[in-house]
Structure formats: structure tokens, C-alpha cells
């Protein structure tokens, strides 16, 4: 069956041209399913796993519905998101589309002074992308009214519930006009999200494109068992030293900051992302990761949702996630938008039983592999040109199969970004070159002795 074009789904010509200019020509399934209804003004409930294209699925109808609207005394479009990172990324997708229709966009979230946000609202904006906490603060200060909102979008509603935002979200939605157009996107309907749907959406059409528990076809899962903490440390450094972008998830802010520093000192440009960073620091680190100046992002679960960077080749659960939802959302930083990706969980002996339960709930059936830094599965993920910065050990691997093998004829993915931080000396590269030369010399010497 041929996928319809954006124009065939009812998207306007100017928006279609802007999408094409950004290399977006073919709609994803969630967009094909929802756009005919949302463009027609129907309230909609969209359910789909992370990376399925939900952001464009609501940004397109939002700008199309508001295009040509005469500017009022307040904003006419509202998008609610659970985290600053997600709000920023949504705004990045939305702004080019909104600009085509002369719609002004601003973001509102905590962690930064409110003065600039208040000034932007006073100057006049059409669409607000906001986190609930700061938005409510501005409403209480009478710096913002939602009386003029015509289209409201609630993204990642299940994560809002997990973070305890539902009371704020309920008050915010109640402050928007009752007859407005509303769209709600969520992976699940638990923890009270169903109550939001029943109260605020009028006869909504529901579209489910892959449940949150559905495996991503182009995502290959690996579970690496290690003997102890030292073996784990060596393995993590080895995986981080590979080519292309990688995201490493840690349990605590302190450990994320510590590992990012250790990797950078070892010659692997890395940045951290966690709740202790200021918003400007978060933005700088994400920008460095996006541009390739930093090849590794070491993060807490703050990056498990809403952080989208193209061509993330590998996600490593350095610390196993708390539950199956966290596993799926962390893992969703790779294999997005039809691209392939690998996911590794590093498991210590005392974590094996709990992790097995998490994988079972996530619907992923995979045989764990006992590995060291030189094991074949590790080498395949790192790539031939990786440069380890620590002594290598003996190979040892228990045979096992990944959750999904790559299709026949495909190749190990080539590196996407191989940049260094400007001015940084590539000591790891020099050490790796010297080490490889020494190994070759030993092999030649050994071969000569046995001849």
C-alpha cells in the first residue's frame, strides 16, 4: 500500500514546501493516521511509542489551524510538555513551520529567569510551548491568560502523570476555552491520563500506532553480564570509545557528571545532562552533542524523553533502569524515525534477577551474554576504528543471540561524527595507534619464532 503524501492528507501547500525543504517528504504512520482528523479540527488522542513522529503529528495541524488567524491580545496556541528539554525540542520542530505562516513561538519553563519569557509574552506571541510549573506561575502573576487559546496540545501525558503534574495540567486545561480544539498524545493512559481524556476531549478520535511496549523493528537489544564493578567500568569505557554518537544512562547526577569527566580525560569527548545543571549549561551540552563536538552524552533519566539527536547509534544502560517504561524510553533515543540503533544494558551479578523481570515486562526476549572488553559482541558495537584508553584483557564470551539480527546484506554502521573538541589533543588516538603497532609487532615476532 502506497503511503499518502502530506498534500494528500490535507496539509497546506506552504507547509508542505517547508517540510520538503527540511527533507521531510513521507509521513510516518502516526501522521498518516491522525492528520486527516486533526486538520479537520477534531479532538484527537494519539498513542504511539517514542520516536514514532508524534511531534510533527501535532505541530502540523497546530500551525495549519492557526494560519491566517488575526493576532489577538494573547496566545492562540498552547503545547504542554513535561520537561524543558522536550519543550525546547518541540519548539525547534515547530518554529520553521510557524514562521511560514507568520506565527510567533516562545517557550516557557523553569530553571531560568522569567524576565525574558515575560517580555516575550508582553511583546505578543501566537504559540506557547510550556512546562506546567512555570506556566502556572506566570498565570498566577497575571502575566499570561489562556482565554484566547484556540488549539491546545498535551504531549507525553503519561510522563506528566509520572512527574506529578496532573493537578497543574488539569487547572491549565480548565483555563482554556471549553470549545477549543484539543489534542493529547501519550504512550499509555494510566495514572490518571484517562481522566484528562474524559474531561477535556470532546468525542475524540483515537489513533494507536504501535503501543509503548511494541519492539522497535530497527532496534537491536543486548544484555551484557559482567563479573564485577571493575569489569563494568572497563566495558563502559570501551563502549563509549566507539564511533558515532552514543548516549549513556546513569542512575544518579553525581555518577553522570563523574563519568563524563573521566571519558573526556581519557580522550573521548563527552558531556553530561542531569538535573543539577542550569538551563544554559544543559543547552550548551546538548548543542555540543548535537554538533558532534562531544561524541558521548552521559545522562540521567532526564534525557529519557524529549531529547532527540539525529544518528544516535548506541544507547548504553550503564545503570539498569528502574522499570520497563524507563527502559523503553531510554532506549528510544536511538533507532528513531526509521533509523537503526543498538541498545546495551550492562548488568552486574546482583542485578540479574531484577533486570530479567524488567525485560520480560518490556516484551523483549533476549539471551544475556557474559562479556569482557575484547568479546566479539563488544567489538562489533565499538567498530574497527575505536581507540580504547585502558589495557585490554583476554576475550571471553558466552554464545548468545541479540533480540533481533540485522537483515542479511546490511553492514556495521559507519561512524557519523568523528570530531574532536576544538583545540583538544587527540591523545587517545595517538595511544591507540601506538598500541596497535605494538600488537602487530608482537604478532610478527611470534610468527617468526614459530616458523
Check residue 333 and give its pLDDT.
85
Q: Which residues contact 115 (CB under 8 A, 6 or more apart)?
A: none
Q: What is the pLDDT of residue 398?
A: 32
Question: How far is Cα 355 from Cα 361, in angstroms, rounded to an integer?
Answer: 10
DSSP secondary structure of 122-169: HH--SEEEE-HHHHHHHHHTTS---TT--EEEE-SHHHHHHTT-HHHH
- Provide the CA 424 distance to its chain's centre, in angstroms: 28
Identify whether the C-beta of residue 12 lies closer than 8 Å to the C-beta of residue 173. Answer: no
The winner for highest mean pLDDT among 156-160, 253-257, 430-434 is 253-257
Does pLDDT of 234 surpass 60? yes
- Does domain 219-382 bear CATH number 3.40.50.300? yes
146, 171 Cβ separation under 8 angstroms: no
State the average pLDDT over residues 81-94.
91
Question: Which secondary-structure segment (H or E) carries 393?
Answer: none
pLDDT band with cut points at 50, 70 and 90 for residue 210:
low
pLDDT range class, residue 309, cuts 50, 70, 90: confident
CATH class of 6-208: alpha beta
Residue 417 pLDDT: 35
Residue-wise pLDDT tens digits, 113-164: 999 999 999 999 999 999 999 999 999 999 999 999 999 999 989 888 888 8
Torsion angle defined by CA atoms of residues 297, 298, 304 and 306, in that order, rounded to the nearest 10 degrees: -40
Mean pLDDT value of segment 60-85: 90
**Which range has the worst mean pLDDT, 73-87, 190-204, 336-350, 411-425?**
411-425
CATH 3.40.50.300 range(s) for the chain read 6-208, 219-382
Residue 432: its pLDDT value, please?
46
pLDDT of residue 443: 43
What pLDDT is attached to residue 19? Answer: 95
Average pLDDT over residues 58-62: 97
pLDDT recorded at residue 337: 62
Amino acid at each position: 500500500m502506497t503511503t499518502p503524501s502530506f498534500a494528500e492528507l490535507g496539509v497546506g501547500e506552504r507547509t508542505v514546501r517547508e517540510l520538503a525543504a527540511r527533507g521531510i517528504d513521507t509521513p510516518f504512520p502516526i501522521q498518516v493516521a491522525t492528520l486527516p482528523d486533526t486538520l479537520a479540527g477534531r479532538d484527537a488522542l494519539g498513542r504511539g511509542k517514542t520516536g514514532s513522529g508524534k511531534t510533527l503529528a501535532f505541530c502540523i495541524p497546530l500551525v495549519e489551524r492557526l494560519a491566517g488567524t488575526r493576532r489577538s491580545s494573547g496566545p492562540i496556541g498552547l503545547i504542554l510538555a513535561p520537561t524543558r528539554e522536550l519543550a525546547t525540542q518541540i519548539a525547534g520542530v515547530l518554529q520553521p513551520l510557524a514562521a511560514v505562516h507568520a506565527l510567533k513561538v516562545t517557550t516557557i519553563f523553569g530553571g531560568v529567569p522569567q524576565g525574558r519569557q515575560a517580555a516575550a509574552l508582553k511583546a505578543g506571541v501566537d504559540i506557547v510551548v510550556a512546562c506546567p510549573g512555570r506556566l502556572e506561575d506566570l498565570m498566577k502573576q497575571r502575566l499570561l491568560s489562556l482565554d484566547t487559546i484556540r488549539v491546545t496540545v498535551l504531549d507525553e501525558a503519561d510522563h506528566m502523570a509520572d512527574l506529578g503534574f496532573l493537578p497543574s495540567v488539569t487547572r491549565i486545561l480548565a483555563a482554556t476555552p471549553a470549545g477549543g480544539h484539543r489534542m493529547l498524545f501519550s504512550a499509555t493512559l494510566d495514572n490518571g491520563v484517562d481522566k484528562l481524556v474524559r474531561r477535556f476531549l470532546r468525542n475524540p478520535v483515537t489513533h494507536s500506532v504501535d503501543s509503548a511496549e511494541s519492539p522497535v523493528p530497527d532496534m537491536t537489544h543486548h544484555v551484557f553480564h559482567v563479573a564485577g564493578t571493575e569489569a563494568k567500568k572497563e566495558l563502559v569505557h570501551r563502549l563509549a570509545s566507539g564511533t558515532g554518537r552514543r548516549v549513556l544512562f546513569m542512575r544518579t547526577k553525581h555518577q553522570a557528571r563523574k563519568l563524563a569527566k573521566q571519558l573526556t580525560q581519557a580522550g573521548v569527548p563527552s558531556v553530561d545532562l542531569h538535573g543539577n545543571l542550569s538551563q544554559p549549561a544543559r543547552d550548551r551540552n546538548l548543542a555540543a552533542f548535537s554538533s558532534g563536538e562531544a561524541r558521548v552524552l552521559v545522562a540521567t533519566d532526564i534525557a529519557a524523553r524529549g531529547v532527540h539527536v539525529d544518528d544516535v547509534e548506541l544507547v548504553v544502560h550503564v545503570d539498569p533502569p528502574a522499570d520497563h517504561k524507563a527502559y523503553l524510553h531510554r532506549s528510544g533515543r536511538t533507532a528513531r524515525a526509521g533509523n537503526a540503533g543498538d541498545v546495551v544494558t550492562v548488568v552486574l551479578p546482583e542485578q540479574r534477577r531484577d533486570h530479567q523481570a524488567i525485560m520480560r515486562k518490556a516484551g523483549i526476549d533476549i539471551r544475556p551474554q557474559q562479556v569482557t572488553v575484547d568479546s566479539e559482541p563488544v567489538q562489533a558495537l565499538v567498530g574497527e576504528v575505536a581507540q580504547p584508553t585502558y589495557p585490554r584483557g583476554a576475550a571471553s564470551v558466552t554464545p548468545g543471540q541479540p533480540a533481533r539480527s540485522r537483515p542479511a546484506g546490511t553492514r556495521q554502521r559507519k561512524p557519523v561524527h568523528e570530531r574532536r573538541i576544538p583545540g583538544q589533543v587527540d591523545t587517545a588516538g595517538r595511544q591507540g595507534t601506538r598500541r596497535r603497532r605494538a600488537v602487530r609487532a608482537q604478532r610478527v615476532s611470534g610468527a617468526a619464532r614459530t616458523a
